[in-house]
């Protein structure tokens, strides 16, 4: 008897997922050691294993489609068997020996095929191709490692004769192109939708206030260079920034907190989020219990976690639970800027790129590396005076970093 398989809840109260790639084909013989598909969730791409040994009788969704948790996505059985009669559907728990694994999102996707000959491509590229009846297997990718890009599809559309429209067909609510316009519509991916929803919620619900200070980074840069030589390892500036923040967070607990109904929850643990830019959007991996780590341990954790987060290999647990966030906007060349406070926290600290500026030192003009640090804070819990005292402590710890590192 044919067996149905439903999209499982892959964690964190998932409501729906987006099929990125099918890793099997209808009619293919499979075992439980094979992978069925890749599903994009709010934060990662998850490999779902095949739940039954047998033949793939039906795939219920196309790559790029969004499907609700609990929906049947595949049917398995014996070769030639009808799908009219099925057993009770199962979810991923049916294969405990082969756990669901989070891995990198396909960004950028690569124009290669799976063992079954299926072309891999990003959902947005697949969707545009599908709307215009373009077969991806015949497209030569121009992106890195031969990836098929949106521009590859647009180039085909530029040279494709217009098709005769089907009579009385209702207009789609969101088309890939708009009549009479050179604009291009590209739907949000699942991850982009999540980013959009969460930032909108944070900006709508949190009364943001911003304050900034300028840091003389002379000692900071000298100490960082010495640490790189002494520890013989790369020292991200965020690691020193976190070490400078931890004493201030303990002294001023309102910055390591969550607004709850009728009050504020002051956390006794220090889970520091580190904002990271990726090709598919912003992610914030979280260093759990950062205050219990030595500098070497903190750096090692960052050098392990951040690359995996950028490659979408971090687990949902590693991307949640932050109590305070730092954002190195200077990594991309920004001198200054502000950040939106992650929902569920009360503050985020942003650091820019150090620039050489003339400053007055003991009545003399000297050229010093100046670093701008900006604090975004929730005015429901934090007033301006408290924010300034917090920033004064940050300034002390960054201008004399040895004290914060001891």
Cα–Cα nearest to 18, from 127, 113, 99, 161: 127
Query: How many of the other CB atoms lie within 10 Å of CB of 82?
Result: 10
**Could you tell me the CA-to-CA distances from 97 to 36, 47, 101, 102, 254 in Å, in that order?**
15, 14, 12, 16, 44
Distance CA 224, CA 233 (A): 11
Mapped onto helix, strand or coil, the DSSP state of residue 308 is: helix
Q: Where are the alpha helices (DSSP H) in 159-217?
A: 190-205
Alpha-helical runs (H) found in 86-189:
123-131, 150-158
Give me the phi and psi of 132, to 5 degrees please.
Answer: -115, 20
The phi, psi pair for 274, rounded to 5°, reads: -125, 110
Cβ atoms within 10 Å of 377's Cβ, excluding its own: 27
CA terminus-to-terminus distance, the chain: 67
Active-site pick, 132, 267, 269, 379: 379
Query: Is residue 287 within 8 Å of residue 306, measured between CB atoms?
Result: no
Nearest to 2 by CA among 95, 77, 111, 106: 77
User: 161: Cβ–Cβ under 8 A, 6 or more apart, which residues?
Assistant: none
Give yes or no: 269 in active site: no
The answer to whether the CB of 126 falls within 8 A of the CB of 63 is: yes
Which residue's structure tokens are 């085909």?
156
Contacts of the segment 260-265: beta carbons below 8 A, 24+ positions apart: 264/346, 264/381
Catalytic residues: 379
């Amino acid at each position: 008897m044919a067996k149905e398989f439903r999209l499982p809840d892959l964690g964190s109260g998932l409501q729906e997922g987006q099929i990125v790639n099918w890793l099997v084909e209808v009619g293919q013989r499979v075992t439980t050691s094979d992978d069925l598909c890749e599903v994009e969730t709010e934060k990662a791409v998850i490999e779902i294993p095949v739940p039954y040994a047998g033949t793939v009788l039906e795939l219920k969704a196309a790559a790029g489609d969004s499907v609700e948790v609990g929906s049947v996505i595949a049917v398995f059985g014996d070769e030639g068997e009808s799908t009219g009669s099925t057993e009770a559907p199962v979810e991923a728990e049916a294969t405990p020996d082969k756990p669901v694994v989070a891995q990198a999102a396909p960004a950028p996707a690569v124009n290669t095929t799976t063992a079954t000959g299926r072309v891999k491509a990003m959902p947005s590229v697949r969707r545009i191709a599908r709307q215009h009846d373009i077969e991806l297997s015949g497209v030569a990718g121009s992106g890195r490692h031969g990836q098929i890009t949106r521009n590859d599809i647009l180039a085909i559309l530029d040279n494709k004769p217009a098709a005769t429209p089907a009579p009385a067909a209702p207009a789609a609510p969101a088309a890939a192109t708009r009549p009479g316009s050179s604009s291009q519509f590209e739907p949000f991916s699942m991850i982009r939708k999540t980013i959009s929803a969460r930032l909108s919620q944070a900006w709508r619900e949190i009364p943001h206030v911003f304050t900034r200070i300028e840091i003389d980074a002379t000692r900071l840069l000298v100490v960082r260079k010495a640490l790189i030589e002494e520890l013989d390892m790369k020292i991200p500036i965020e690691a020193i920034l976190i070490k400078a923040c931890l004493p201030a967070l303990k002294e001023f607990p309102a910055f390591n907190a969550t607004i709850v109904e009728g009050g504020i929850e002051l956390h006794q643990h220090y889970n520091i989020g580190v904002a990271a830019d990726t090709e598919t959007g912003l992610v914030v991996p979280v260093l759990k219990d950062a205050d219990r780590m030595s500098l070497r341990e903190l750096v090692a954790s960052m050098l392990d976690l951040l690359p995996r987060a950028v490659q979408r290999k971090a687990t949902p647990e590693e991307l949640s639970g932050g109590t305070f966030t730092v954002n190195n906007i200077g990594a991309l060349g920004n001198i200054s800027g502000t950040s939106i406070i992650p929902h569920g926290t009360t503050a985020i600290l942003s650091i820019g790129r150090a620039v050489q500026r003339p400053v007055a030192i003991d009545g003399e003009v000297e050229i010093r590396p100046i670093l701008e640090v900006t604090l975004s804070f929730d005015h429901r819990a934090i007033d301006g005076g408290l924010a300034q005292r917090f920033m004064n402590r940050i300034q002390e710890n960054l201008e004399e970093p040895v004290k914060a590192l001891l």
